[in-house]
Amino acid sequence: MSRKVFANQHGIRSTSFDYWCKKQYNEVVKNGDPPTFIELTSNSGPSELINHPQIEIKLPSGLLIKIY
């Protein structure tokens, strides 16, 4: 599947998706560093997770990402 098709299927602007793919390639793959992933876990019960975000990330654009 092309990046453009993937972006369209997930409601992402293809130009933004291309930017982040290239950024990932330049910062990680090109330098020979493996991608780093971390597991996020919570000790909260299901009812607590519904009403309270566990993580909030505010991007410079003002976009706020809440992870429950």
- Position with higher pLDDT, 34 vs 11: 11
Contact predicate 59/52, CB 8 Å: no
Predicted confidence at residue 3, as pLDDT, reads 85
Average pLDDT for residues 46-51, to the nearest whole number? Answer: 61
Distance of alpha carbon 63 from alpha carbon 40, whole angstroms: 21
Report whether pLDDT(12) > 70. Answer: yes
Report whether pLDDT(57) > 80. Answer: yes
Would you list the domain boundaries of the chain? Answer: 1-37, 40-68
Predicted confidence at residue 15, as pLDDT, reads 92
b/e burial code for range 5-20 (CB count within 10 A of at least 16 → b):
eebeeeeeeeeebeee
Predicted confidence at residue 43, as pLDDT, reads 67
Report whether pLDDT(8) > 70. Answer: yes
